[in-house]
Amino acid sequence: MITVFAFVFGAMIGSFLNVCIYRLPKEESIVTPRSRCPACRTPIRALDNIPLLSYLLLRGRCRACGAPIAWRYPLVEALTGGLFAVTVARFGLGLGTAFMLAFLASLVVVSFIDLDHQIIPNAITLPGIPLGLVAGLLVGEPPLLDRLIGMLAGAGFLYLVLYYGGTLYGQEAMGEGDLNLIALIGAFLGWRAVVITILVGCLLGATVGICLIALRRLSRRQHLPFGPFLALGAVVALFWGDQLITWYLGALR
């Protein structure tokens, strides 16, 4: 029942994250006005704003004008609910889990904004970095020192990639928002998780990029947003980081 409650709560948070994803790139308030249909601007009634359920009952269309509702809205709600449920099932209830849920919610927001606009909003990452360090003081695992090293080393590594990528290829290899995102990940998960995040993110990004180029859906001069791949790498590090490190050390022996 706790896991079910975590999913429902996560879906509700996901509904709010949809507001953030839509409004933050427009520099609009995420508090007011109340949610509206993007097509006809009609305010959405409370009964039509129930996560997941309302989308199904309305058959994916606005009640007022009949315009289709983007599939991304229920996807974000279901994804956030699933992440919350898995996190609570894995780590239980506690202060550390609360910090992890806030961290995962921030990853959802920056990933979808980066997919749409190829930007990672500082409004999410910059306040999140000190929050991750505070978590180190209150929770203690990973320790604050590990978090500081992860924040500085991860951002420093990506800065070198950003600088030398621009020097060698005449264009930015990634954006400065990626530096803030990896600093956020380091502040929450520590330096070991940052190593896994970067490796997994680069592997996934390269694989997807090669496939899209082969399918002629992406040219060699176009950029893939790197934020979602870093976010996926961070999720892998959070849930399976220790197992991956153990497996790798065992393979070296």
Q: Please, what are the averages of pLDDT over each run of 10 residues along the chain (253 residues)? A: 95 95 92 85 88 92 90 96 96 94 97 94 94 92 92 87 62 75 95 93 91 84 87 95 82 72
Predicted local distance difference test score (pLDDT) of residue 245: 83
Q: List, in order, residues 6 or more apart from 155 with CB less than 8 Å away.
A: 179, 180, 182, 183, 186
- Both tokens of 147, joined, read 């978090």
State the number of CA atoms in the 13 A half-sphere of 213 facing the CB: 12
Question: Hey, is 36 helix, strand or coil?
Answer: strand
Buried b (16+ CB within 10 A) or exposed e, 234-253: bbbbbeebeebeeeeeeeee
Predicted local distance difference test score (pLDDT) of residue 124: 94
Q: List, in order, residues 6 or more apart from 206 with CB less than 8 Å away.
A: none
Predicted local distance difference test score (pLDDT) of residue 216: 83
Predicted local distance difference test score (pLDDT) of residue 165: 61
Predicted local distance difference test score (pLDDT) of residue 106: 97
Predicted local distance difference test score (pLDDT) of residue 173: 56
